[in-house]
Chain A
Amino acid sequence: MDPAKFKKINDWEWEIPKTGEMRVPGLVFASEKLIREMDEKVWEQVSNVATLPGIQKASIAMADAHWGYGFPIGGVGAFRAEDGVVSVGGVGFDGGCGVRSLKTNLTLKEVQPKIKQLVDELFDIVPAGLGSRGKILMSDADVNEVLKQGAKWVVEKGYGTEEDLQYIEDNGSIQGADPKQVSDLAIRREKKQVGTLGSGNHYLEVQYIDEIYDEKAAKQFGLFPGQIMVWIHCGSRALGHQIGTDYLKVLADASRKYEIPIREHELVCAPINSEEGQKYFGAMCCALNYAHANRQVIAHLVRQGFGKIFPRAEVKTFYEVSHNSCKVETHKIEGKMKKVYVHRKGATRAFGPDHKELPAAYRSIGQPVLIGGTMGTASYILHGIPSGEKAFFSACHGAGRAMSRTQAKRKWFGTRLVQELQAAGIYVKAHSMSGLAEEAPQAYKIVEDVVDAIHSAGLAKKVARLKPVGNIKG
Chain B
Amino acid sequence: MYEHFPHEADIGIRGIGKTIEESFCEAAKALFNVEVKIKKVHAEKKVKIRADASNLSELLVEWLNALLAKASIHEMVFSKFKVKIEEKKGKQKLMGEAFGERLDVEKHSAKEEVKGATYSQLKVEKATKGKHKGKWIAQCIVDV
Contact = CB atoms under 8 A, between A and B. Distances in A.
B47 interface: no
Interface stretch (B23-31, B87-95, B104-112, B129-137): B104-112
Given A185-B69, A189-B72, A200-B144, A66 B9 contact: yes
Contacts of B75: 131, 133, 191
A61 to B, nearest CB: 14
B6 A404 contact: yes
Given A200-B113, A200-B144, A405 B6 contact: yes
A432 B8 contact: no
Task: Find the residue from B8, B116, B143 having the highest chain A CB count within 10 A.
Answer: B8
A185 B69 CA distance: 8
Contacts of B8: 39, 66-67, 401, 403-404
A405 B110 contact: no
B119 A405 contact: no
Contact of A435 (B6, B7, B112, B116): B112
B35 interface: yes
Contacts of A69: 118-120, 143
A431 B72 contact: no
B73 A188 contact: yes
B111 A241 contact: no
A131 B119 contact: no
Nearest to B143: A93
Interface string A54-83: 000000000000111100010000000000
Contacts of B10: 405
Contacts of A431: 105, 110
B63 to A, nearest CB: 12
B69 A130 contact: no
Interface in A314-364: none
A406 B72 contact: no
Interface residue tally of chain A, by bracket?
Answer: 35 or more
Nearest to B76: A131
Contacts, number: 105
A245 B62 CA distance: 9
A324 to B, nearest CB: 11
A256 B78 CA distance: 35
A266 B118 contact: yes
B9 A434 contact: no
Interface in A69-124: 69, 73, 92-94
A195 interface: no
For B4, B5, B6, B112, which residue has the most chain A Cβ atoms within 10 angstroms? B112
A141 B96 CA distance: 33
A129 B105 contact: yes
Contacts of A185: 69, 73
Nearest to B65: A245
Nearest to B57: A265
Nearest to A242: B69
Given A93-B143, A238-B72, A406-B11, A131 B120 contact: no
Contacts of A188: 73
B103 interface: yes
B138 interface: no
B105 A94 contact: no
Interface in A402-444: 403-407, 431-432, 434-435, 438
Contacts of A265: 119, 122
Interface of A: 39, 66-69, 73, 92-94, 129-131, 133, 185, 188-189, 191, 198-200, 238, 241-242, 244-245, 248, 264-266, 401, 403-407, 431-432, 434-435, 438, 474
The list of the 8 closest CB pairs from A to B, nearest first, reads: A265-B119, A404-B6, A406-B6, A199-B112, A130-B110, A241-B115, A200-B144, A435-B112
Given A191-B73, A405-B11, 9 more contacts: A39-B8, A67-B8, A93-B116, A130-B103, A199-B144, A200-B144, A265-B119, A266-B119, A403-B8
